[in-house]
Amino acid sequence: MTELVRTREELAKARGALTGTVGVVMTMGALHAGHETLLRAARERADHVLVTIFVNPLQFGPNEDFDRYPRTLADDLEVCRQAGADLVFAPDRDEMYPDGEPRVRVDPGVLAGDLEGLSRPGFFHGVLTVVLKLFQLTRPDLAFFGEKDYQQLTLVRRMARDFDVPVEVVGVPTVREPDGLALSSRNRYLSARERQSALALSAALRAGEEAADRGLDAGAVLAAAHRAFAADAPEVELDYLALTDEELEPGPVAGPARLLVAARVGATRLIDNTAIQLAPRS
Ligand code: PAF
């Protein structure tokens, strides 16, 4: 049975009754097959699964989609039920921020100064602030985050380490449509034509992977990704294509790396990334 709780008091009571390990999956709702994979991963590793559903106003910029972000609680609860979640915490804004917007926010540090952080100032302050609050409220042993939001996953991991939050942060691989498009709650904004154009992101990543598999160096991998993006996306506006090391530090020359892309497709901003293994330098 899946129990829905809306207040901190209800959550504290229901969380207190759970014995054994608790895995949390934090979401903003509009659950899709990518979230289902997170829930399954949590189910496999933890005795109990706790899902949070909260569209966090702190992480939306003034011109972003906070108002039109899909809110589908009834459907989301059904997904949680089917996945065998024990508890769903779905607070409203006042419950989460009873004193209004917090005056103190988590500073995400230098790692947030690039990639998403450049295009979305304040985004990671908002994300890490709500994630830290949700860690305190839900007290999980394990927390599951999708690799699709790779910078978010990296920063949450870093925050848990740097702030001694007693939780294991687990990254879960991205789920894709058969044609390569990474699943995202924002895909529902795309028209049929935009959905087709959005394939430029995964095409760029695939081209980068193939170039790395052929033993090409970082510059050539990035160039291959750029070429594939431009070929597939005449009407898509590229924000960034970047190659970093696994911890998002710039400029890997060999070994495990991450290729990341962000682009605007019509009015919708999409991101994606993949692991790359760069050949050792000769
Ligand atoms: O990835 C998301 O859905 C959100 O950024 C999160 C982690 C739930 C925080 O609001």
pLDDT in tens, 212-230: 999 999 999 999 999 999 8
Instruction: For residues 256-263, give the mean pLDDT.
Output: 97
Among residues 32, 35, 48, 226, the one annotated as catalytic is 35
Name residue 75's beta-bridge partners.
none
Percent of the chain with pLDDT over 90: 94
Number of other CB atoms surrounding residue 20 within 10 Å: 8
Number of structural domains found in the chain:
2
Res 231 pLDDT > 90: no
Give yes or no: residues 81 and 206 share one domain: no
Give yes or no: residues 167 and 189 share one domain: no
Pocket lining: 149 vs ligand 1, CB cutoff 6 Å:
yes
Closest ligand 1 atom to the C-alpha of 185? 3
| First-last CA distance in the chain | 58
Domain-embedded: residue 282:
no
Look up residue 29 and give its amino acid: G
Give yes or no: residues 108 and 16 share one domain: yes
- Read off the pLDDT band of 252 (50, 70, 90): low
**Measured distance CA(92)–CA(7) in Å, rounded:** 8
Furthest C-alpha separation in the chain = 60
Instruction: For residues 33-46, give the mean pLDDT.
Output: 97
Give yes or no: residues 33 and 136 share one domain: yes
Res 282: pLDDT: 65
Ligand 1 centroid distance, CA of 26 (Å): 6
Closest ligand 1 atom to the C-alpha of 127? 9
Give yes or no: residues 129 and 194 share one domain: no
Res 262 pLDDT > 80: yes
Ligand 1 centroid distance, CA of 242 (Å): 22
pLDDT tens across 81-121, in order?
Answer: 999 999 999 999 999 999 999 999 999 999 999 999 999 99
Domain-embedded: residue 233:
yes
pTM: 0.96
The tokens of 197 are what?
A: 């154009």
Closest ligand 1 atom to the C-alpha of 156? 7
Pocket lining: 184 vs ligand 1, CB cutoff 6 Å:
no
pLDDT tens across 194-203, in order?
Answer: 999 999 999 9
pLDDT tens across 116-157, in order?
Answer: 999 999 999 999 999 999 999 999 999 999 999 999 999 999
Ligand 1 centroid distance, CA of 106 (Å): 15
Domain end position, chosen among 146, 172, 198: 172
Q: Nearest residue CA, atom 2 of ligand 1?
A: 27
Give yes or no: residues 226 and 142 share one domain: no
Q: Nearest residue CA, atom 3 of ligand 1?
A: 27
Instruction: For residues 233-241, give the mean pLDDT.
Output: 89
Examine the residue annotation and report whether 35 is marked as an active-site residue of this protein: yes
**Is the Cβ–Cβ distance between 124 and 149 less than 8 Å?**
no
Give yes or no: residues 200 and 167 share one domain: no
Res 253: pLDDT: 75
- The CATH number for 128's domain is 3.40.50.620
Give yes or no: residues 35 and 145 share one domain: yes
Domain-embedded: residue 59:
yes
Give yes or no: residues 259 and 122 share one domain: no
Q: Look at residue 3 and give its three-state secondary structure.
A: strand
Q: Which domain holds residue 122?
A: 3-172
Give yes or no: residues 164 and 200 share one domain: no
Give yes or no: residues 116 and 223 share one domain: no
Res 269: pLDDT: 95
Res 230: pLDDT: 87
Angle of helix 33-45 versus helix 73-82 axis, rounded to 10: 40
Instruction: For residues 38-65, give the mean pLDDT.
Output: 97
Look up residue 69 and give its amino acid: Y
- The CATH number for 215's domain is 3.30.1300.10
Nearest to 127 by CA among 101, 143, 106: 106
Ligand 1 centroid distance, CA of 210 (Å): 31
Domain-embedded: residue 270:
yes
Domain end position, chosen among 107, 138, 172: 172
Give yes or no: residues 98 and 220 share one domain: no
